[in-house]
Amino acid sequence: MTTLRILRPDDWHLHVRDGAHLTSIVPFTAKRFARAVIMPNLKPPVTHVDMARAYRERILAAVPANLTFEPLMTLYLTNTTSAADLRAARDSGFVIGAKLYPAGATTHSDAGVSAIERIYPALEAMQEYDLVLQVHGEATDAAVDVFDREKVFIERVLAPLAERFPALRIVFEHITTREAVQFVHSARTGVAATLTPQHLLLNRNALFQGGIRPHHYCLPVLKREADRRALIDAATSEDARFFLGTDSAPHARHTKENACGCAGVFSAHAAIELYAEAFEEAGCLERLQAFAAERGADFYGLPRNTSFITLERATWMPPPAYRFDQDELVPFRAGESIRWRLVEES
């Protein structure tokens, strides 16, 4: 196969930052995706509808005039998020869910939830208003091994939460382990998961090849090869609970390449191309459209897109860095080859 035409995909988990950095980033996603679920972990976090509305307007202003792109907004859950906040989100028409960050779990999560019991009233409201809960699923107890944080979170928080709120739709974001795949496979209706290109293509060895590789550092961190294979099996299966979410997370080069580097992999410049590579390696290119353009829309209760994109099997190489306002942004596969290329849309 030398070309692949699929329905225009959506990104169900995306970071675009803000300000001048946002202007540099949004066009990459708008060129490839029709919609994206925008993460709310700015500083300050997007905790109320008026903040989400203003952020959405800034994103739309950064979309090139020749492209159509819809940002799907989320609120940042805190210990004090109220039912009124969530009712306003439901009524807005552009906020589709709220994100659970355990406090201290990842970038800009310091305002996150300190104990899951603190947000039970908010989760009850989300269940009533049919807002989707997006979950960063890692335990933050310092005694938990970093490679076990996802597994422990499932046991301590996510499994009991899904049982306590049986009508709450939950997306277990950027899963990384066999245990997470098994949990979603066995979970009740209304529980799904997103998978990133880096977790489908890399295992934890990639963090150390030729020395420390800070641009491969993300949270949740890359896991074992057996975990990667379990993720590939899930993504390429016929199980509609697994769908695309890049977790593309831009950071300036100097914030990644230092003694306390930021967590995040920037993949928006080649996201759908990277997924195509992973599906091709698995011998399942014919299933990419379902994963990238059908399952997420169905889960969120949104119409599938009707336009198409075309990918060509042609090797290209991202530059060593992209401009990121006054900074540099090192992309995934910088200076290395990618086997698929976006060539047209209609």
305 is in an annotated binding site: no
Mean pLDDT (whole number) for 116-128 = 97
- Indicate whether this model's pTM tops 0.85: yes
State the pLDDT at residue 108.
59
Tell me: is residue 130 an annotated ligand-binding position: no
Distance CA 183, CA 191 (A): 9
Burial class (CB in 10 A: 0-12, 13-18, 19+), 344: exposed
pLDDT in tens, 262-288: 999 999 999 999 999 999 999 999 999
Residue type, 186: S
Cα 58 to its chain centre, rounded Å, is 20
**pLDDT score, position 1:** 78
Q: Kind of pairing, strands 308-316 and 322-324? A: unpaired
Distance CA 39, CA 317 (A): 28
HEC sequence for 87-129: HHHHHHCCEEEEEECECCCCCCCCCCECCHHHHHHHHHHHHHH
Q: 293 falls in which pLDDT band (50, 70, 90)?
A: very high
User: What is the distance, to the nearest Å, from the Cα of residue 276 to the centroid of all Cα atoms in its chain?
Assistant: 17
The reply, when asked if residue 247 is annotated as ligand binding, is yes
Q: Is 216 annotated as a binding residue?
A: no
Catalytic (active site) residue 325: no
- What does the pLDDT look like over 58-86, one tens digit per residue? 999 999 999 999 999 999 999 999 999 99
Domains and CATH numbers, the chain: 3-342 (3.20.20.140)
Determine the straight-line distance between the first and last CA of the chain, rounded to whole angstroms: 20
Q: What is the pLDDT of residue 345?
A: 53
CA distance 331 to 195: 18
pLDDT of residue 125: 98
Tell me, what's the pLDDT at 239? 98
Mean pLDDT for 127-153 is 96
Is the predicted pLDDT of residue 144 greater than 80, yes or no? yes
pLDDT confidence of residue 346: 47
Give the mean pLDDT of the chain.
Answer: 96
pLDDT of residue 112: 80
Question: What's the pLDDT score for residue 22?
Answer: 97
Q: Say if CB 59 and CB 38 are below 8 A apart.
A: yes
The answer to the question of whether 251 is labelled as a binding residue is yes
Share of the chain above pLDDT 90, in %: 94
Closest of 17, 26, 32, 25 to residue 292, by C-alpha: 32
Q: Rounded CA gap, 139 and 124, in Å?
A: 22
Tell me: the pLDDT tens digits for 186-230? Answer: 999 999 999 999 999 999 999 999 999 999 999 999 999 999 999
Q: Among 227, 247, 298, 327, which one carries the catalytic annotation?
A: 247
309 phi/psi in degrees, rounded to 5: -125, 160
